Structures are given as C-alpha cells and as structure tokens.
Amino acid sequence: VHSDLSQEKQRILANTYTFVKQELSGETSGHDWWHIHRVVQMARRLALAEGADDYICTMAALLHDIADEKLNPSKEVGMQRVNDWLDRQHVQTEDREQITYIIANMSYNGGNNPPLPTIEGKVVQDADRLDAIGAIAIARTFVYAGHVGDMMYDPDLPVREQMSAEEYRNGRSTAINHFHEKLLKLKNRINTPSARQIAEERHQYMEQYVQRFYEEWEGR
C-alpha cells in the first residue's frame, strides 16, 4: 500500500508489480519473484528509516532483476526491457532516469562497482545485498549452484580471493566458495546504518553456518 502517492504513481506501481510477478514467477536460480518481493519489502523499510523516496526505491527494487545479465542474453538487452516497460507506463523522465541508473549500477560485480551516489540507490542496493546475507541467502546460494551445475563444495577448488568483473562472471565456483568470494564480504559493503545493523546479525549466522559445514566435513 502506497496510499500517500499520486493516483498516477499508484497505477504505475500496481502494473509493475503484476508485470514483474509474471516475468519472474517461474524462475529457479534464486532470482525469482519472491526474491523481488523480499527486496521490495526491505527497500521500503530502509527507505522509511533513511528518508529515501518510497516510489523510486520500490520501482527500482521491483525491476532490478528484469535487467540481470544472468536472466538475459546481455546486459544491454536486459536494460532495454526495463526501458521499454517504463516507456509503456509513461513514467516521468526524471523518475525514469533515477530508476534506470540504480538498476544499471547496483550489482556486486565481483566487488568492482563503486557505491551508488543517491540515497535511493544506496537503499535498493542494501536491500538486494541483505537478501544475500543470512538464512535465506544460504538457501539461495545452494539453489543457484545447483541451477548452474556447480558442486556444493570441492576442497580441491581454491577460493578465488581477488576477481575482475570478468572472472567473477565466468569463473567456476562452488556454493561454499561463493560464501568467501562474495557473501561474507557483503557486510563491509553495506551503505546505510539501518541495513548495517541487520547485516551484522545475519552475517554472524552465516559465518557460524560455514564453520559448522567445515566441522561436519572433517567428520567432527
């Protein structure tokens, strides 16, 4: 419910909800509609706490994975899908620029992207990252590994410490290595104080999980 927004913006939000739900509901790589749903809820919670614009944050959160490289032939094709949608909904030029800027620049990209400049960007990026830290993140990571045919763990495959955007995209990994290559690093890349608090707790839980995984692996 966004009851304080104009009729026009409420219409755009409602249509975008339906559109994204339809587009991503069959997705099985961990970027499905329910991921979007969680990111939207978290983005709105953070937006309220941080004084960011609710409409921009919700729209960017809703559309952020419609453009994802992993779900499209290329990043450009993905961004075109977002632009076409905003066009069809007659989103105001200024809002549109804000939304597409966030979506095009928010991804982790192997840690190679700089933090986003606007508070709305920071909020949406944090919301997406919080879904990659904690209990649900653990599940998503194993689902993703299964989806692309990676193993859950292989002690012979070393953790890649520093990666270019290219290596991050194309190199093979395992679910457990992904914790070290990305997930356990996210806590230090959170933008806003409200998100940092949540990240801190979820991070601890994830760290304990990885610890126990290794203990059981060793037969302890």
The full length of the chain comes to 220
Candidate list 50, 126, 128, 150; residue touching Ni ion; CB under 5 A: 128
Which residues contribute to the site for ligand ADP (CB under 6 A)? 30, 68, 107-108, 128, 132, 137, 140-141, 144-145, 150, 173, 175, 178
**Which of the ranges 5-13, 42-50, 94-102, 124-132 carries the binding residues for Ni ion, by CB under 5 A?**
124-132
Q: How far is CA 149 from CA 12, 69, 132, in A?
A: 38, 18, 20
CB of 157 to Ni ion, least distance (A): 25
| Minimum gap (Å) between residue 220 Cβ and ligand ADP | 25
Burial class (CB in 10 A: 0-12, 13-18, 19+), 98: buried
CB of 43 to ligand ADP, least distance (A): 13
Q: What's the CA gap between 2 and 15, in Å, rounded?
A: 13
**Which stretch of DSSP H or E encloses residue 110?**
none
Total site size for Ni ion, rule CB under 5 A: 2
Query: Rounded CA gap, 54 and 65, in Å?
Result: 18
Place of tokens 């190199």: 171
Q: Which span sits near Ni ion by CB under 5 A: 109-117, 122-130, 184-192, 200-208? A: 122-130
Residue with Cβ nearer Ni ion (9 or 140): 140
Cβ distance to ligand ADP smaller for residue 89 or 207: 207
Nearest distance in Å: CB 6, Ni ion: 27
Tokens of 120: 């709305």
Contact 195, 208 (CB under 8 A): no
Q: Is 126 in the site for Ni ion (CB under 5 A)?
A: no
Residues 6 or more apart in contact with residue 17 via CB below 8 angstroms: 62
> Within 13 Å, how many C-alpha atoms sit on residue 12's CB side?
22
Shortest spacing between CB 84 and ligand ADP, in angstroms: 21
Choose among Ni ion, ligand ADP, none what residue 9 binds, the Cβ cut-off being 5 to 8 Å by kind.
none
Residue 203 interacts with which of ligand ADP, Ni ion, none, CB < 5 to 8 Å by class: none
Q: Name the nearest CA neighbour of 189 among 98, 122, 117, 120.
A: 122
Site of interaction with Ni ion (CB under 5 A)? 65, 128
